[in-house]
Amino acid sequence: MKTAARKKTGMAPGSAVYTGTKNTEPVRMHAITFNKDAVTEYECQSVEQLPLCKDQSNVAWIDVCGLHSVSLIEQIGAKYGIHPLTIEDILHVGQRPKIEEFDDYVYVVLWMMYAGADDIVQEQVSFIVTDTCVITLQEQPGDVFDPVRERIRSRKYRINSSQSDYLAYALIDMAVDSYYTVMENVDEIVTDLEERVLVDTSTRVLHDLYQMKRRILQIRRALWPLREVASKLERTETKLVKKATRIYFRDIYDHTIQVIDTVEHYRDLLSGLLDTYLSSASNKMNEVMKVLTIIATLFIPLTFIAGIYGMNFQHMPELSWKYGYLAVWGVMALSAGLMIHYFKRRKWL
């Protein structure tokens, strides 16, 4: 996920400029039109082949994968009457999730998350919801909408007898649900960190804690504005959303709140983990210092005593005492004993 949206500074407003990763693969356009009785599905090679969506008895779902061909997106915009500012937003990858109501359509942009080849992919999806169709625009092929496709094809679910607002709900619901999967992954990593934090004080843990914090901050950033989007979807006054569908949008709102709640929970846990890691590392240090101090304070005086009787003065009466050597051992044992007693009283041993 890009953290700072690169803006095409200095362009006229409504300028269509793609800000994502350049890509040479052809743009895939997939159309499904369906009603209670039939499902038609086909790949479109050009904008002309896209359904016209004038027929109230069908619902059309047009899925565009690939935003790098600016002219193509502009053609689609022209075909369905989409405002230039919306086109700008679609192409401007790195958008903050938002909802905008226009006269003929509602524009929703948010992030979906799914397990990619080797990491979690966070990808921007735009939804254009008119009264007869839903257009979804994403950067790459691969998304979280397959279950919806299956449901439409099976013709067994409510979706086939509903209208574009319900289709929009089903798709947005999938995108919100995708965060649950990511949160499970977060849960696993946090549980793992909870165990390591008290035993392992290497920089590796530190690195993992920071990466986790980073990820949670990014998820948060994608989620917080989503709450507002969901809330607006539920309370919107546009005629596009039917009363019966409204209860489903409330459900999306509930799910968003629930994921946000979970994210905040992990954020608090993580900050607790960092504190624990720091204290634990400092505790380990304490242990090391204690060992050094005990050994050093035990032997330094003894070595001093040994040094005394290693001196070569001609007149050192103790050296010729018969039991001098034994006496020195005695003094040393006494000194060590006193030290150990002191350490015990201090609870260092």
Please tell me whether residue 192 binds a copy of itself under the rule CB under 8 A: no
- What's the min distance (Å) between Cβ of 251 and a copy of itself? 6
Please tell me whether residue 103 binds a copy of itself under the rule CB under 8 A: no
C-alpha 183/C-alpha 215 separation (Å) is 11
- Give the residue with the Cβ less far from a copy of itself, 50 or 86: 86
User: By three-state DSSP, how is residue 210 classified?
Assistant: helix
- What's the min distance (Å) between Cβ of 16 and a copy of itself? 14
What residues have CB less than 8 Å from 346, skipping those under 6 apart? none
C-alpha 243/C-alpha 234 separation (Å) is 10
* Binder among 116, 147, 330, 337 for a copy of itself (CB under 8 A): 147
**∠ CA(168), CA(224), CA(130), 5° rounding?**
20
* Binder among 29, 61, 90, 95 for a copy of itself (CB under 8 A): 95
Scan residues 27-56 and list those touching a copy of itself (CB under 8 A).
none
- What's the min distance (Å) between Cβ of 287 and a copy of itself? 8
* Binder among 275, 330, 331, 338 for a copy of itself (CB under 8 A): 275
Compute CA distances 319 → 315, 328, 330, 331, 349, whole Å: 9, 10, 15, 15, 36
* Binder among 73, 91, 168, 209 for a copy of itself (CB under 8 A): 209
Size of the site for a copy of itself (CB under 8 A): 118
- Give the residue with the Cβ less far from a copy of itself, 13 or 54: 13
Please tell me whether residue 306 binds a copy of itself under the rule CB under 8 A: yes
- What's the min distance (Å) between Cβ of 22 and a copy of itself? 17
Please tell me whether residue 319 binds a copy of itself under the rule CB under 8 A: yes
Closest CA to 252 of 172, 182, 136, 149: 172
Scan residues 229-258 and list those touching a copy of itself (CB under 8 A).
247-248, 250-251, 254-255, 257-258
Ramachandran angles phi, psi of 182, nearest 5°: -65, -40
Please tell me whether residue 304 binds a copy of itself under the rule CB under 8 A: yes
Q: Which residues on adjacent β-strands are paired with residue 184?
A: none
- What's the min distance (Å) between Cβ of 198 and a copy of itself? 6
Please tell me whether residue 331 binds a copy of itself under the rule CB under 8 A: no
Please tell me whether residue 314 binds a copy of itself under the rule CB under 8 A: yes
* Binder among 25, 41, 207, 244 for a copy of itself (CB under 8 A): 207
* Binder among 6, 242, 341, 344 for a copy of itself (CB under 8 A): 6
C-alpha 253/C-alpha 127 separation (Å) is 17
* Binder among 49, 56, 161, 282 for a copy of itself (CB under 8 A): 282
C-alpha 233/C-alpha 230 separation (Å) is 5
Please tell me whether residue 153 binds a copy of itself under the rule CB under 8 A: no
C-alpha 280/C-alpha 226 separation (Å) is 38
Contact in structure between 193 and 205 (CB atoms under 8 Å): yes
Element (H, E) at 86: helix 84-91
Contact in structure between 50 and 130 (CB atoms under 8 Å): no
C-alpha 280/C-alpha 214 separation (Å) is 22
* Binder among 206, 227, 236, 238 for a copy of itself (CB under 8 A): 206
Please tell me whether residue 187 binds a copy of itself under the rule CB under 8 A: yes
CA 110 from chain centre, in angstroms, equals 14
* Binder among 39, 44, 189, 302 for a copy of itself (CB under 8 A): 302
C-alpha 134/C-alpha 150 separation (Å) is 17
